[in-house]
């Protein structure tokens, strides 16, 4: 993997992780503080924030896969 692809995968993962966590905790904060629901929603936020893609899997999305030419018989 070239350096440019590594940098792009790191930057996009950081954007994804920040977006995912802010969406989870922001949504649960809305439910708990503005809708006056149970604080157990924060446990759901913690569980869901742990369910985001891991950096190793995210990096594999950027790797080039080479396919061998196959003859159709």
DSSP 66: P
Q: How crowded is residue 7: how many other Cβ atoms within 10 Å of its Cβ?
A: 10
Helix/strand/coil for 18: helix
Q: List the chain pLDDT tens, one digit each, 73 residues.
A: 678 888 888 899 999 999 999 998 898 888 888 998 888 988 888 888 888 888 888 888 877 654 444 444 4
Task: Determine phi and psi for 54, rounding to 5 degrees.
Answer: -85, 155
pLDDT at residue 59, rounded to an integer: 84
CB 48 within 8 A of CB 24: yes
Q: Contact at 8 Å (CB) between 28 and 45?
A: yes
pTM, 2 dp: 0.71
What pLDDT shows up at residue 1?
Answer: 66
Q: Which residue is associated with the tokens 């759901």?
A: 44
């Amino acid at each position: 993997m070239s350096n440019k692809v590594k940098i792009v995968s790191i930057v996009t993962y950081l954007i994804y992780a920040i977006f995912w966590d802010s969406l989870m905790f922001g949504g649960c904060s809305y439910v708990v503080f503005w809708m006056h629901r149970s604080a157990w929603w924060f446990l759901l936020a913690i569980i869901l924030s742990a369910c985001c893609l891991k950096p190793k899997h995210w990096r594999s999305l950027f790797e080039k896969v080479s396919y061998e030419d196959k003859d159709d018989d």
